[in-house]
Amino acid sequence: MKKEKEFQDKTALITGAGSGIGRETALEFSGLGTNVVVSDIDETAGKETVKMLTKAGGDALFVKADVTRSEEVKKMVGESVEKFGGLDFAVNNAGVLSAEARTGDYPEEDWRRLIDINLTGVFLCMKYELQQMAKQSSGVIINTASIAGIAGFPKNSAYAASKHGVVGLTKSAAIEYAQRNSHQRCLPGIHLDANGRNSDETSTGTGGGA
């Protein structure tokens, strides 16, 4: 793969990088010559991604983190900077799918868990990533959203609400930091597995990877 100059020797932090979209994103960044910080709550899966990257000649670090816990997210960003000297790209991808139920029957515990991971998790990651990028006066943040972030999703109201929230959060931060050379983007979270099936944000547990 041809390495683009703007990615070489830069650093990318990717949450939920133990599988799916996160792992594929890590592989793409590494292939461009970027140092990659792989984060996931699933230590085995995350370290497997790192093994794949280093085997291909890349430089990578694994940091276990639950994105719903502020102290773990702060530590994740800190270890990334300590290892590679800065943070140029952040892909906030950790997320889970929801239980299927009509809104009136939706379990409250499931609602709180999903919102905590999919929306609050993205907020916490952005909070500490933006603090670091503000110090550097540069950086790019990409948040994994979904088609459900711009349309209704029957029997998945919590998931749709979380992804609408991610879209709104991203737009708001983009306006706030527009003059600070920090950029935020929101992308639909669609990933096709080996059989060509849509595996949009496959769950790997609390704060796990897509």
Question: What pLDDT shows up at residue 150?
Answer: 86
Whether pLDDT at 182 is above 70: no
Average pLDDT over residues 196-203: 36
Annotated catalytic sites, by residue?
159
Residues in the chain: 210
Q: Are 203 and 94 in contact (CB under 8 A)?
A: no
Residue boundaries of the structural domains of the chain: 11-188
Q: What percent of the chain has pLDDT over 90?
A: 73
Strands 89-92 and 11-15: parallel
- 206 has a pLDDT exceeding 90: no
Pairwise CA distance, residues 172 & 161, whole Å: 16
Amino acid at 174: A
The model carries a pTM of: 0.86
Give the mean pLDDT of 32-52.
Answer: 98
Q: Which two tokens stand for residue 13?
A: 């932090």
The pLDDT tens digits of the residues spanning 125-134 come to 999 999 999 9
Strand order in the sheet with 139-145: 60-64, 35-40, 11-15, 89-92, 139-145, 182-188
Q: Does residue 197 surpass a pLDDT of 50?
A: no
Confidence of residue 210 (pLDDT cuts 50, 70, 90): very low
Residue ranges in the chain assigned as alpha helix (H)? 20-31, 43-55, 70-84, 108-115, 121-136, 157-176
Rounded average pLDDT over 86-112: 95
Between 2.40.30.10, 3.10.129.10, 3.40.50.720, 3.40.350.10, what CATH number should domain 11-188 receive? 3.40.50.720
